[in-house]
Structure 1
Amino acid sequence: MRRIISTEPVHRDRRDLHNLRSMLPFLWEFRGRALLALACLVLAKLANVGIPILLKEIVDAFEDPQAGMLVLPVSLLSAYGALKLSASLFNELRDAVFARVRYRAMRRLSTRVLEHLHRLSLRYHLERRSGAISRDLERGTRSVSTILNYMVFSMLPVLVEFALVAAVLLTRYAAVFTLVTFGTVMVYVAFTLTITEWRMDFRHRMNRLDSQANGQALDSLMNYETVKYFGNEVTELARYDDTLRDWEQVAVKSQSSMSILNFGQGGIIAIGVTLIMVFAARGVVAGTMSIGDLVLVNALLLQLFIPLNFLGVVYRQIKYALADMDLVFKLLEREPEIADRPGAGPLVLHGGQVRFQRVDFYYQPQRQILRGLDLALEPGQKLAVVGPSGAGKSTLARLLFRFYDVTGGRILIDGQDLRDITQDSLRAAIGIVPQDTVLFNESILYNLAYGRPGASRAEIEQAAQMAHILDFIEGLPERWDTVVGERGLKLSGGEKQRVAIARAMLKRPRILVFDEATSSLDSHTERAIQQTLAEVAEDHTTLVIAHRLSTVVDADHILVMVGGRIREQGTHRQLLEQQGVYAEMWELQRHERDVPVA
């Protein structure tokens, strides 16, 4: 057990180095700017170290009354002011030059993460918690700016200043000054590293609990109506507060351990400064050092230990940022479940024939969804799939879009296996009207044009007319600029489905899929849209997934699915004559329509 525990810091350090290397490609675009910023940094530190040296000369000049009191100090004071101004100038130049590098890296990483999220499979997005991942991504992207900021503006300047101070001490004074100074630094760094590593566990736990609480809050707000339906506001608040209580306990421990760290750092610096001043004072008394030397040593130490005191905070922030960054790079390293095969080509469409050949599929091995499914959808044909809930009907659409790969058999479009063609070309050939239509929190125009972003306004209006939603849009106070709300909640279920129908029509795909496309429409609108869908589907391969049988009576062929298998098939009339499952469903639904509302 001890061996396993002892290797954990090594593993974490390897992850940190790996993440830092992974960050380098995002900086490469502006490598020239980065080098220029480093040059400004060095010049600023040269000016900084030159200031105490000039201060010594000024003090010594005042001690020598024969040195021309009115001329020499003035020139030295002028040089002193010039060095102060130069240090400030080069620091600001460094910040201005490096700003483009830092913010471009943040932009590139954010875009890369979003691109990768879109590449990940549907299974990942169904299992993830939106609130937690959004908080992790926010912290991870911000961590890039934090690391670049501290490394370029804090770590590197301190290292450069250390080198310059060491050179001054070694060339001007006894070795004891260098030994005490850098001995203090080594003790300080060792203490800081040890305590900070101990504190990192608190930070990881705080991050996890913070993400969990944020996910719970967002989940509660996204299900606002459900919470209200069941009156569970107290339950949601209690769940959220329980997580925050755990977060509070860890945060208090983190703050207490920080106080220990800060006090220890202050004590080490105080002892080091005291020792240096004792040796300097002895040198002045012995006559081996001037008052100016005492001032110089004191100024160098103050100049060195002030950023060193801040270095502990910087180191902790970098470690925290590396922990945050690790979440993002682990996400980027996650391989998509569904990926194009090497050498996959685009789909070559002829008529749009679709075939499921002996297809087996399951989401989990213990729960089989489809069993040896065979179906053929000919070009221009309208095929309907009906059956009870849980029969696997909607799974057909997900497999056709290749959101999942079949676990057995294969799916062909015009003789081409879906696994041998690119996902982009496959999805460009298919249009869908889903049962649960989710819209962007944008205008109606944006949501309609999403079907084909390059479509003209006339084409968009024509699609809206065909979906019988144009009059509704024109009657709104803001018309096409009306914002539909989060997930389209400002529209009714029927209005959202008509937007989805118009969007699918605008896409002009070869293959159409209607997954309960009219389930939220009233009878009058449903009949109108059914006629429109029939017109649109004339030159398309059309798959209709339905529970309401009245929507599929005109289908060329109907499949009845039960338990992942095809139980019956034929036309509407043929299935009624068989007096099987379809006939029972038809009678039951017809009876439900005939029963008057109480």
Structure 2
Amino acid sequence: MGFCPGNSSLVPIWINHGLSRCFMETLISSVMFFIVVVLGGIQVLVFWKRALRRTQRFRTNPFWFRLQIFLSVAMITQYILRIVMYAVFFEPLSGDIELATCFYIASYIVSFFVIAIERTKFLGNQVHGHGFILLLFWSLAFLSENLAFVSWGSPHYWWKLDTQFHQAMFGLWVVRYVITFCLFVLGLRAPGLPQKSYMLIINEDAEDPIEKTPPTIAENRSTWANIVTKLRILWPYIYPKGSFLPQLYLLICILMIITGRVITVYIPVLSKNIVEALSRDPPLFPVRYIMYYLGCRVLQGNGGQYSMFANVHFLLWVRVRQYTMKGLKARLLDHLHNLSYRWHQNRNTGEVLRMMDRGTLSTNQVFGYILFDILPTLADLFIAVVYFYSALSALFGLIMFLALTLFIIGTVAVTEWRTKFRRRMNIKDNIVLHRATDSLLNFETVKHYNNQSFEVGRYRESITDFQLSEWHFTVVGGVLGFFHNFVVSGCLLICSMLCAHYICEGTLKVGDYVLLATYFTQLYNPLSNLSLFYVKIQDILIDIENMIDLFEEKQEIKDEPDACDLIINNKKMEFDNVSFYYNKEKPILHNVSFTVEPGQTLAIVGPSGSGKSTIIRLMMRFYEPTDGHIRLDGQDISKVTQSSLRCAIGVVPQDTILFNDNIRHNIRYGNMHCALEEMEEAAKSADIHVKIKSFPEGYDTIVGERAIKLSGGEKQRVAIARTILKDPDFMILDEATSALDHETEENVQRSLSNVCEGRTTIVVAHRLSTVVNADKIIVLKDGIIVQQGRHEELVEMDGTYADMWKHELRET
């Protein structure tokens, strides 16, 4: 028994206008066997030793997964049937068919084990989606069946259907083609695996705890998922609607791209014409072709990098990009300001700013890459296939088409695999920025506890984690580059050898080889860069995902469609059975009711955690009451606009927050349109004017990050001046003098008394001595009003207020 049928040889590869069947059966089956048996076996071994087991009730068994398994079994059955048919028509069997059949069957059997281990176990942050080994195996299986098209004219293949054997082999090839295509598509979808992070599933179902691993995003989720939603959100900022000049610039850029594609076609044709003219006997001087060629080169440049078109559209695109950047950043900041108080409490500012920067920058880049790189390159490739088909022969077009198909499929598969490493990089990058920001903002605490080395160590640790993810990301990129070089170089080799063969036979001319070489030279860089552009778009889409997540955050507190502005007449305030809670098991406020008559002062006292600050946040509509109503002058605040509500209320908080700007800006923030005299008068009322004048730069003094250059009392008085300048109808003082010394407190209390005169005021107090003159005092405990009345009345009662008063007197 010979290894190859009919006493033929394993080489040459190309015989009788087609690929050698013996060589192809041996090579393809060996490669597939190595990929899934050797590499897949390593994957199974690693999973078996290090992976965690998925809980049985979280495993899915949908129809598409069952189909995936059925098709794999059908492939094994088909190979068994094929060797039986070979045994019927050929006696004895050739060694290549026996070897290939054994390799194919063994490969699909091992693929069952790989599928099973991926379904039952997960490694680290692995989520939905098959591993690279299986995806490469199914891709190569589908590609190998497409190679039959290259040998369309070979008598060793079944295309003529002239014998019963060829008819049977053609039928089996059709079956294999359909099955491998379906397996390739199903492999990309991975129907039997979770469609999001398994750790997210675990965290969503607390009844089945597993290792305390932090939740992760769906790392293997395709970046093209929800692309319609992403475009819907970003399109108003990508296309400069409503601005004539950016629209004109964009149109000019598109026209230059189309013109550039036409020039790309003509340059190889002109090269061919020049060579053929010079090759004649006698040679002709092709001055016209040379001038045309030079003109096209000036417009096109060196691969489009230094062309006139590239320089012009780059300059025009800058203006379009700036328009997009400005609109997107402004809209995102406005959206973030409209999000709820609850959302801002749970977010890290450093991470949010990182998401904004990456997202807004990436939005411009993705449109630029698609418009100026991806679409022109795809157009060049399509033109190349058509032109090779028409100018040379159908075989050249088919080879180019198969090479491009392999190139694109491989690029997409490897890049999708690479996506999870990019997402990990972003997460680690956010952690690095978060730790640095948190450490610097709290540097006083760090120094108080002498923990500089601890903070630097944590920061260094986070950088190490980021660099490890970056290294994995880079390694996968190297694998992708090797694959691209292999495909492009292989295609060029096959086409060059074939073209030289046809020239030797007299079918083609030397000018056709120049045409082929010139066209490939033009396509080589764009084709190599196509993967780079696709990878960059993938990276950019990942960066955009975080920004899209910000845009998709729902605004918790919204004005009703028919909301009107708040109208202030009598300045009366009412709480009517107001309840509020995050969790029903632990209410924060329960049926709180009180009324503050116009011009009166209501004091709210009680132990920490009793709900005092929550009342203020409900007043400002940072939260909505779970039950009940809050009314100002008889108007339910949920029915009026938030802007008019917050204009009518002034708040002096306990924890003063100032902008890292000068004192003038921080005081004028209460009324940005006030005159200088009004601002200084407000500062005098807050007993801070003289102090400010004593500073070397006066009102131009920069307060620093978190107002670190001012003392606690100075910060508080600046906040009081800011609220005085706002001149609100309702005043809320949240322990407004808690950070002041006794003498300054007395001065500010007198100022606040004057400011609050004629205004309805709520005072939240810890020190009862500051509210003894209030018109009414309510005592909160565990979210319930336990007492209310004037100071004298409450002291006479035997209750919570009297105990608090006695305790304060003892401390005094």
Q: TM-score, normalised by structure 2?
A: 0.70
Report the counterpart of residue 108 of structure 2 in structure 1: none
Residue identity matched to 2:538: K
Report the counterpart of residue 333 of structure 1 in structure 2: 552
Report the counterpart of residue 738 of structure 2 in structure 1: 519
| Greater alpha carbon shift after TM alignment, 28-37 vs 507-516 | 28-37
Question: In the aligned structure 1, how far is the partner of 2:61 from the partner of 2:677?
Answer: 72
* Aligned-residue RMSD, C-alpha: 2.0
Residue identity matched to 1:189: I
Instruction: Work out whether residues 513 and 543 of structure 1, in 8 Å CA contact, stay in contact via their aligned partners in 2.
Output: yes
Report the counterpart of residue 390 of structure 2 in structure 1: 171
Question: In the aligned structure 2, how far is the partner of 1:358 from the partner of 1:35?
Answer: 61
Question: In the aligned structure 2, how far is the partner of 1:587 from the partner of 1:39?
Answer: 84
1:102 aligns with 2:321: yes
Give the 3-state SS of the residue equivalent to 1:345 in structure 2. coil
Instruction: Work out whether residues 223 and 542 of structure 2, in 8 Å CA contact, stay in contact via their aligned partners in 1.
Output: no
2:225 is aligned, of 7, 14, 23, to: 14
Question: In the aligned structure 2, how far is the partner of 1:411 from the partner of 1:324?
Answer: 42
Residue 102 of structure 1 and its aligned partner are, at CA, apart by 2.4
1:25 aligns with 2:241: no
1:62 is aligned, of 250, 275, 278, to: 278
Report the counterpart of residue 250 of structure 2 in structure 1: 34
Residue identity matched to 1:585: M
- Taking the TM superposition and a 5 Å limit, the aligned residue runs for 1:194-593 are 194-593=413-812
Residue 65 of structure 1 and its aligned partner are, at CA, apart by 5.2
| Greater alpha carbon shift after TM alignment, 468-477 vs 114-123 | 468-477
Instruction: Work out whether residues 355 and 543 of structure 2, in 8 Å CA contact, stay in contact via their aligned partners in 1.
Output: yes
Residue identity matched to 1:85: V
Residue 67 of structure 1 and its aligned partner are, at CA, apart by 4.8
| Greater alpha carbon shift after TM alignment, 534-543 vs 341-350 | 341-350
Question: In the aligned structure 2, how far is the partner of 1:79 from the partner of 1:473?
Answer: 75
Report the counterpart of residue 268 of structure 2 in structure 1: 52
| Greater alpha carbon shift after TM alignment, 566-575 vs 300-309 | 566-575
Report the counterpart of residue 76 of structure 1 in structure 2: 289
Instruction: Work out whether residues 384 and 555 of structure 1, in 8 Å CA contact, stay in contact via their aligned partners in 2.
Output: yes
- With over 3 angstroms needed to count, the CA separation of the structure-2 counterparts of 1:41 and 1:11, relative to structure 1, is closer
Instruction: Work out whether residues 16 and 322 of structure 1, in 8 Å CA contact, stay in contact via their aligned partners in 2.
Output: no
Per-residue CA deviations over 1:30-71 (Å, capped at 9, x if unaligned) read 4443332111111122223322222222222222354553xx
Aligned sequence identity (%): 38
Instruction: Work out whether residues 15 and 326 of structure 1, in 8 Å CA contact, stay in contact via their aligned partners in 2.
Output: no
Q: Unpaired segments of 5 or more residues in structure 1? A: 594-598
- With over 3 angstroms needed to count, the CA separation of the structure-2 counterparts of 1:11 and 1:80, relative to structure 1, is closer
Question: In the aligned structure 2, how far is the partner of 1:276 from the partner of 1:306?
Answer: 17
- With over 3 angstroms needed to count, the CA separation of the structure-2 counterparts of 1:341 and 1:11, relative to structure 1, is farther
Number of aligned residues: 590
| Greater alpha carbon shift after TM alignment, 54-63 vs 263-272 | 54-63
Question: In the aligned structure 2, how far is the partner of 1:198 from the partner of 1:67?
Answer: 55
- With over 3 angstroms needed to count, the CA separation of the structure-2 counterparts of 1:562 and 1:503, relative to structure 1, is same
Residue 496 of structure 1 and its aligned partner are, at CA, apart by 0.7
2:298 is aligned, of 85, 107, 116, to: 85
Question: In the aligned structure 1, how far is the partner of 2:516 from the partner of 2:626?
Answer: 75
Greater relative contact order, per chain length (Cα 8 Å cut-off, separation 6+): 1
Residue 499 of structure 1 and its aligned partner are, at CA, apart by 0.7
Question: In the aligned structure 2, how far is the partner of 1:41 from the partner of 1:92?
Answer: 12
Question: In the aligned structure 1, how far is the partner of 2:321 from the partner of 2:510?
Answer: 45
Question: In the aligned structure 2, how far is the partner of 1:428 from the partner of 1:328?
Answer: 31
Instruction: Work out whether residues 731 and 760 of structure 2, in 8 Å CA contact, stay in contact via their aligned partners in 1.
Output: yes
Question: In the aligned structure 1, how far is the partner of 2:699 from the partner of 2:590?
Answer: 46
Question: In the aligned structure 2, how far is the partner of 1:546 from the partner of 1:235?
Answer: 38
Q: TM-score, normalised by structure 1?
A: 0.94
Question: In the aligned structure 2, how far is the partner of 1:589 from the partner of 1:227?
Answer: 33
Report the counterpart of residue 366 of structure 2 in structure 1: 147
Question: In the aligned structure 2, how far is the partner of 1:182 from the partner of 1:302?
Answer: 17
Residue 324 of structure 1 and its aligned partner are, at CA, apart by 1.6
Residue identity matched to 1:385: I
- With over 3 angstroms needed to count, the CA separation of the structure-2 counterparts of 1:21 and 1:533, relative to structure 1, is closer
Instruction: Work out whether residues 358 and 543 of structure 2, in 8 Å CA contact, stay in contact via their aligned partners in 1.
Output: yes
Give the 3-state SS of the residue equivalent to 2:576 in structure 1. strand
| Greater alpha carbon shift after TM alignment, 163-172 vs 356-365 | 163-172
Question: In the aligned structure 2, how far is the partner of 1:363 from the partner of 1:474?
Answer: 46
| Greater alpha carbon shift after TM alignment, 8-17 vs 299-308 | 8-17
| Greater alpha carbon shift after TM alignment, 220-229 vs 413-422 | 220-229
Q: Which of the two has higher C-alpha Rg?
A: 2
Question: In the aligned structure 2, how far is the partner of 1:241 from the partner of 1:451?
Answer: 42
- Taking the TM superposition and a 5 Å limit, the aligned residue runs for 1:116-131 are 116-131=335-350
Per-residue CA deviations over 1:98-136 (Å, capped at 9, x if unaligned) read 222223222222112111111110000001112222222
Per-residue CA deviations over 1:146-182 (Å, capped at 9, x if unaligned) read 2012112210110232243344333322122222122
Residue 10 of structure 1 and its aligned partner are, at CA, apart by 8.1
Instruction: Work out whether residues 325 and 361 of structure 2, in 8 Å CA contact, stay in contact via their aligned partners in 1.
Output: yes
Question: In the aligned structure 2, how far is the partner of 1:506 from the partner of 1:167?
Answer: 74
Residue 80 of structure 1 and its aligned partner are, at CA, apart by 2.0
Question: In the aligned structure 2, how far is the partner of 1:412 from the partner of 1:129?
Answer: 34
